Amino acid sequence: MSKKALVVVSFGTTYPDARRAIEQLENTLRAAFPDHDFFRAFTSGMVIRKIAREEGVTIPTPEELMEQLAAAGYDEVLCQSLHVIFGQEYEKLLAQLAPYRTRFRRLAVGKPLLWDTPDYLALTRTLLARMPRLAEDEAFVYMGHGTEHRANAAYALVENSFRYAGAERVYVATVEGFPHFDYVTARLHRRQVEKVYLAPLMIVAGDHAQNDLAGEDDESWKSRLQAEGYQVETILTGLGELPAVGAQFVAHARAAE
């Protein structure tokens, strides 16, 4: 009988509460593939080491887990990425898995959350359905991670998808790429906005959400907006906590190659 493994791979987070978003996605995928044995892997060595040091929990890298599965006699492996975009972390995952294609009868890898146009439209529909109805002097700002990788263009496409849906005061900026924070503040000034909702466009509401977005220090987005006179409300919900996002990942896993 064939031994099948479901491997769910994420960057990971050192925040136990934020990790619930990953666990919710894992549980959704496990329910969708009940004939597969479930396994978890993280791609961030820093996160893996900190969890081991502070929590005594060992989480393997994708490569370590592939070795374990091969030794255990698995012949079919379905690996689903929980990355948001097809950036450096996703490409790193593909490179890590490539040598194992010949070690299993089948090794399939599911695409990240945002891969093609229907993914962007589906995500913006999901987010708009949860968003408060904005008054004329209110705006909603999402924080993405950002990257130097060409996949950074995904964030502009998310914002354009909001425009396509008629949401004119929903903006997307990033911590480590473009559009950056100044892009958002310029839009807020032009729209004469008085209140801003802030939320992460990330799988987990981890370090960036807790500190760069909603932190109390002067450099957080919340503090910088408050210093300019805006009312600010933060919504610290990771994308992984949304059932519709889980459904998108299941669809990618079913189409995995």
Write out pLDDT tens, residues 130-184.
999 999 999 999 999 999 999 999 999 999 999 999 999 999 999 998 999 999 9
Q: Which positions are annotated as active-site residues?
A: 145
d(CA 223, CA 226): 5
Contact indicator for 39, 72 with CB cutoff of 8 Å: no
Contact indicator for 220, 213 with CB cutoff of 8 Å: yes
Q: Would you tell me the crossing angle of helices 117-130 and 243-254 to the nearest 10 degrees?
A: 160
d(CA 244, CA 33): 17
Report the pLDDT averaged over residues 250-255: 98
What SS3 string covers the chain? CCCEEEEEEECCCCCCCCHHHHHHHHHHHHHHCCCCEEEEEECCHHHHHHHHHHHCCCCCCHHHHHHHHHHCCCCEEEEEECCCCCCHHHHHHHHHHHHHCCCCCEEEEECCCCCCHHHHHHHHHHHHHHCCCCCCCEEEEEEECCCCCHHHHHHHHHHHHHHHCCCCCEEEEECCCCCCHHHHHHHHHHHCCCEEEEEECCCCCCHHHHHHHCCCCCCCHHHHHHHCCCEEEECCCCHHHCHHHHHHHHHHHHCCC
Report the pLDDT averaged over residues 209-222: 94
CATH for 117-239, among 3.30.43.10, 3.40.50.1400, 3.40.50.1820, 3.40.50.1110? 3.40.50.1400
79-110 confidence digits (pLDDT tens): 999 999 999 999 999 999 999 999 999 999 99
Please check the confidence at residue 1 and state whether its pLDDT lies above 80.
Answer: no
Report the pLDDT averaged over residues 49-78: 96
Report the pLDDT averaged over residues 204-226: 93
8-23 confidence digits (pLDDT tens): 999 999 988 889 999 9
Domain 4-113+241-254 coded CATH 3.40.50.1400? yes
Please check the confidence at residue 45 and state whether its pLDDT lies above 80.
Answer: yes
d(CA 190, CA 79): 45
201-214 confidence digits (pLDDT tens): 999 998 888 999 99
Whole-number pLDDT of residue 153 = 95
Whole-number pLDDT of residue 81 = 96
Task: Please give the mean pLDDT across all residues of the chain.
Answer: 95
According to DSSP, the residues that pair with 200 across neighbouring strands are: 143
* Whole-structure pTM value: 0.95
Q: Where in the chain is the domain with CATH 3.40.50.1400?
A: 4-113+241-254, 117-239
Report the pLDDT averaged over residues 194-223: 94
Please check the confidence at residue 126 and state whether its pLDDT lies above 90.
Answer: yes
Whole-number pLDDT of residue 18 = 85
